[in-house]
Chain A
Amino acid sequence: MKILKTYLAPILIALIFIALTVVWPDAAVRSAQVTWDYFKEMALIMPAIFVLMGLMEIWIPKDKIQQWLGKQSGFRGAALAFVMGTLPTGPLYVAFPMAASLIRKGASITNMILFLGSWAALKIPQLMVEIKFLGLPFTALRFVLTLTALLIIGLVMDKILHKSPDLEWQKSAPDPARMPGIGMGMGMKAGVKPGMKPDMKPGMSTTDQKEKQSDNQT
């Protein structure tokens, strides 16, 4: 039953495919071809992305992510998020789990909107194709306007999600939830040992820890 529930949506889609084969075979064949092509691409990319995420989860300490991409990271954080997004790294849904993991590690919402937005809208290879078919003025203007819009959306969403956080999402944390103040009790799954918590190093003095904690609050 549990499996049925988890896979309800994919099963429904399979049924639609079957129905489509009966009423409109041409479209069904086209659709199946597209899905198969994307499936091959995903089967190649997705496992690697998740292992990268796992490595990041284990090795990159939370305070570093907070420092590089957190609220206080300022212009440099925004620039880093933007550059990470423009690298040639596949379709947007590859970036969702990465952004989620970074947010849990303390990256700011603004920077993650910038990251996802430039990933989707301002990728370098994509801009090349755009210039070729729609011209430089079109591409340049869209680039500037999109970047501005992303910044505004990021700032607005940061305000909104700070005022009324998505509690349901925070509870459903798939990996050790390490957001300050929430989910601490359930964060010890997935093979992460307590000693690996980056912001509680054994050699750290109490004043250091206090400073760390006050950092977390900001």
Chain B
Amino acid sequence: MATVLTIYGLLGLGLIASLVKSREKTAAAFKIAGKALMKTAPSLLTVLGIVGLTLGLLTPDTISRLVGAEAGWVATLTAAVIGAITLIPSIVAFPLAGSLLRAGATVMTISAFVTTLVMVGVVTAPMEIKTLGKKFTLLRNGLGFLAALLIAGIMGVLLK
């Protein structure tokens, strides 16, 4: 809800200011918006479909089973990969991470999961490539994944 309010609040202010200054330019802005929206629509639909599929197949239960109480590198790496692939809303992801932690998963595993979850987006890659380019997307996500593993390692050591 805060999201919608923020965006529409900004839009309202912007539109009023724009209309006061020039109606023609406001129309031009809408034209640009329409074109950009049409161009991104296919990749947006793709992303929505993949998000649904990954969340439908990888339920919180399945994730718990995969990264559960098993310690060690395999669990951490699995958690990092799952975090990188899925796009889970934080309101679902953090309670899940919290319960996994209490169930015996290591801090390293949980921080790998949380960090790749927010830093790396495999399912949103089609849209990122469309808007920001292949090179940018690969670099951002690749380096983000490496950084997430490093962060997980440091957190695992410091928060023992």
Contacts and interface: CB of A to CB of B under 8 A. Distances in A.
Given A34-B56, A169-B136, A174-B35, 5 more contacts: A10-B49, A53-B36, A99-B131, A142-B115, A149-B151
| Chain B contact surface mostly | helix
Nearest to A113: B140
Give the size range of B's interface with the partner: 35 or more
A96 B135 contact: no
B131 A96 contact: yes
Interface of B: 2-4, 6-8, 10-11, 14-15, 18, 21, 25-37, 39-40, 42-53, 55-57, 59, 87, 89-91, 94-95, 97-98, 101, 107, 110-111, 114-115, 118-119, 121, 124, 126-128, 130-136, 139-140, 143-144, 147-148, 150-151, 154-155, 158-159
B32 A191 contact: yes
Contact of B94 (A59, A129, A156, A166): A129
Nearest to A88: B2
Interface of A: 6-7, 9-10, 13-14, 16-17, 20, 27-36, 38-39, 42, 44-55, 57-59, 87-93, 96-97, 99-100, 103, 109, 113, 116-117, 120-121, 123, 125-126, 129-130, 132-134, 137-138, 141-142, 145-146, 149, 152-153, 156-157, 160-161, 164, 166, 168-169, 172, 174-175, 190-192, 196
